[in-house]
Amino acid sequence: MTTQVNTPITVAEVEAPPLSLGNLTWRRFRRHKMAIFGAVVLILLTFYSFGGALFFTEKYSNYTNTKERLQSPNAKHPFGTDTVGRDILARTIYGGQISILIGITAAFVEVMIGILIGAIAGYFGGNIDAVLMRFTEAMLNIPQLLLLIVMSKFFSGNVPNINILGRELSGSVIVIILIIGVTSWPYLARIVRAEFLSIKEREFILAARATGTSSWEIIFKHILPNSIAPIVVSATLGVAGAISLEAYVSFLGMGVRAPTATWGNMLENAYRYIETAYWLWLFPGLLIVLITLSINFLGDGLRDALDPRSRTV
Amino acid sequence: MDAIHTFLEVKDLKTRFHTPEGTVYAVNGVSFTLKEGETLAVVGESGCGKSVTMMSILRLISIPPGEIVSGEVTYRDRNLLKLSESEMEHVRGKEVAMIFQDPMTSLNPVLTVGRQLTETLRTHTNMDEEQSRQRAVTLLEWVGIPDAGKRLTDYPHQFSGGMRQRVMIAMALACTPSLLIADEPTTALDVTIQAQIIELVKKLKQDVGMAMIWITHDLGVVAGIADRVIVMYAGFIVEEAEVDDLYDSPLHPYTTALLQALPRADRRRDKNLKSIQGVPPNLLAEPRGCPFAPRCEFVKERCVNENPLLIETENRHKVACWVNVKTGALR
């Protein structure tokens, strides 16, 4: 009877070099069942959105056929068709690309602004900190949804179409990315500032200054890598947040404009058919729920895996 | 370097900290000089201003809450207190380097040792990636780290305390500074490692030919390493002497008491060590009179009201005391 528990420790194991930080993180992450589930679902959704493009052209996803409008799921249209006869399966595929793109880039914008403001406020302190933090608090005091709606009303009046990755997109995509990024950084800035406040007092920062390291190098090469864990976690959650915010604004008809599909704007007219044509909202809605849920699980797992205080292997 | 020029001269340095409890008078008019290649030890108990003095010299005090109220720090004809921050960055690490007490916390935990070493080199020299890597290997070998080439990619937590202090020393000496300030570099290490580090620093000092300021509260270490000693108390220098003079004929009651509190191999063991009565003064009060007066066994009326100046008595032996310890009479 040999079980895993009774396996004797080999010499190689005893003499193995200590685990690197990356190894340790991966070990803890692997134990988090829900995080693994989240990661797998996320990978599948990415395959769905980007792999699916091999089977349908974008033209097909935007093709309106009024003879086939509001068809329930059938062999030709597995997810049914919408109010103007577009294939919902193809639209969820292309819409997924845009939703994921918006999620990632908006979170990127958020992280860049958040890090910059948080780092400068935390590191330099004093009046700079006071001014930046009052500004941050002012931003936090305005409800984000209100800001989003007002800004998208204001900016997305007449934006030309643009070309990204060989795709013709409504310029409103870029507007939405910027608006989401610009309205969601304050929380992150506060997290970054708090990290900087505590790390800048650590002895190795003094040691770095004593070797003539400049302030910018200390901020970006010494303090930032030490505060990367909470930043990664909130950036991950920021992706989920951006996807659902986009869905929200697009649902209200103020987000990404047709013909470009997103999971959010596919819901736009669906509320009128909640009882009569469930396929209009079920598939995009399900995808939004799945992606935000899996990203949140992933973020949870990362939080546990990257937290140095839970460093038990 | 021309000997006529001053290497390092600190004049009337005063550093204060403005805290919610009030102003802390940390350094109260410290003056001393250092010659090229000389080793100066600074001793005194915790909180007497040793570290703050040295950090003020390199302008590493965080302002606020700190403030360098007055003074001059002349290093090779330049007043360091008047330099701009970017000029100061060229002095730090390149000309004046500093090592710290606790090697366990003085290295950045998320950067490899190699990266931290090469970054110092690349800040101050125009070496490229490969040159700085090779120089880093040489440096690590020089401070006695075996298998230096492989260890460059290791993180600080993969090194022991003694090894980390060696890495810190390698970083400090990377650009062959002409002055090394060592802030209790052996205090956090165990005794055998302490001895190794002291030997290492002595050897490296000879290799480089640099001057050194060694902060410590271990008088045993001082005897083995220093040419001259400064004794500090409550932010003042109370005595300054050649190392042998200080041990043979201490002139300040505080130094005398310190030496009597030190266990020695050549002294009888059945007697208890003497301790100094009382506690160090509260640095929140503006200093008045001799700071040591409340704990001094020779205290006179004058000591309470007037702070004695640091005066030279005989061959470069300076003391700040109204009383002649040998006779018990006022000077």
User: What is the interface size between A and B, counted as CB pairs within 8 Å?
Assistant: 75
List the alpha helices (DSSP H) in A71-143.
Answer: 88-124, 126-141
pLDDT mean over A262-268: 85
pLDDT mean over A295-309: 82
- CB < 8 Å to B105, chain A: 202-204
A209 to B60: CB separation less than 8 angstroms, yes or no: yes
A213 to B119: CB separation less than 8 angstroms, yes or no: yes
Quick count: other Cβ atoms within 10 Å of Cβ A196?
A: 25
Using CA atoms of A171, A173, A176, A181 in order, give the dihedral in degrees to the nearest 10. -110
Distance from CA of A205 to the nearest CA of B (A): 8
| Predicted local confidence at residue B5, as pLDDT | 64
A208 to B98: CB separation less than 8 angstroms, yes or no: no
Distance from CA of A97 to the nearest CA of B (A): 35
The pLDDT confidence band at residue A2, using thresholds 50, 70 and 90, is: very low
The tokens for A52 are 């699916």
A18 to B158: CB separation less than 8 angstroms, yes or no: yes
Distance CA A123, CA A219 (A): 7
More confident residue, B264 or A213: A213
Per-chain mean pLDDT for chain A: 83
Cα A307-A309-A312 angle, rounded to 5 deg? 95
Distance from CA of A303 to the nearest CA of B (A): 17
A210 to B110: CB separation less than 8 angstroms, yes or no: no
| Predicted local confidence at residue A41, as pLDDT | 93
Number of H helices, E strands in chain B: 11, 12
The distance of Cα A107 from the centroid of its chain, to the nearest Å, equals 5
| Predicted local confidence at residue B201, as pLDDT | 83
Distance from CA of B252 to the nearest CA of A (A): 33
| Predicted local confidence at residue B267, as pLDDT | 65
- CB < 8 Å to A202, chain B: 105
Distance CA B128, CA B235 (A): 44
Distance from CA of B115 to the nearest CA of A (A): 10
| Predicted local confidence at residue B142, as pLDDT | 83
B119 to A221: CB separation less than 8 angstroms, yes or no: yes
| Predicted local confidence at residue A288, as pLDDT | 92
pLDDT mean over A188-211: 90
Distance from CA of B163 to the nearest CA of A (A): 16
Which amino acid, residue A302? L
Kindly list the distances between the CA atom of residue A284 and the CA atoms of A100, A107, A134, A261, A277, in Å, as whole numbers in the listed order: 13, 21, 39, 10, 13
| Predicted local confidence at residue A19, as pLDDT | 61
The pLDDT confidence band at residue A21, using thresholds 50, 70 and 90, is: low
> pLDDT for B186-198, tens place per residue?
877 788 878 888 8
Query: Residue A295 above 90 pLDDT?
Result: yes
> pLDDT for A101-160, tens place per residue?
899 999 999 999 999 999 999 999 889 999 999 999 998 888 888 888 888 778 766 667
Of B93, B102, B108, which has the smallest distance from its Cβ to A210's Cβ? B93
pLDDT mean over A185-204: 91
Query: Residue A12 above 60 pLDDT?
Result: no
| Predicted local confidence at residue A132, as pLDDT | 94
Cα A97-A235-A262 angle, rounded to 5 deg? 20
Q: Kindly state the DSSP code that residue A218 receives in the 8-state scheme.
A: I
Distance from CA of A46 to the nearest CA of B (A): 32
B106 to A217: CB separation less than 8 angstroms, yes or no: no
Regions of chain B with pLDDT less than 70: 1-5, 265-271, 328-329
Q: What percentage of chain A exceeds 90 in pLDDT?
A: 26
A204 to B108: CB separation less than 8 angstroms, yes or no: yes
User: Beta strand pairing status for B8-19 and B22-34?
Assistant: antiparallel
| Predicted local confidence at residue A164, as pLDDT | 67
Distance CA B189, CA B166 (A): 12
- CB < 8 Å to B64, chain A: 126
Quick count: other Cβ atoms within 10 Å of Cβ A208?
A: 28
Distance CA B100, CA A171 (A): 56
Of A203, A217, A226, which has the smallest distance from its Cβ to B106's Cβ? A203
Residue of chain B whose alpha carbon sits nearest to that of A224: B110
- CB < 8 Å to B92, chain A: 209-212
Q: What percentage of chain B exceeds 90 in pLDDT?
A: 1
A206 to B100: CB separation less than 8 angstroms, yes or no: yes
The tokens for B34 are 């250092």
> Is the interface score ipTM higher than 0.85?
no
Distance CA B129, CA B136 (A): 11
B64 to A126: CB separation less than 8 angstroms, yes or no: yes
Cα B184-B95-B56 angle, rounded to 5 deg? 55
| Interface-testing mutation among B60, B108, B121, B168, with chain A (most A C-beta atoms within 10 A) | B108
- CB < 8 Å to A226, chain B: 108-110
A210 to B100: CB separation less than 8 angstroms, yes or no: yes
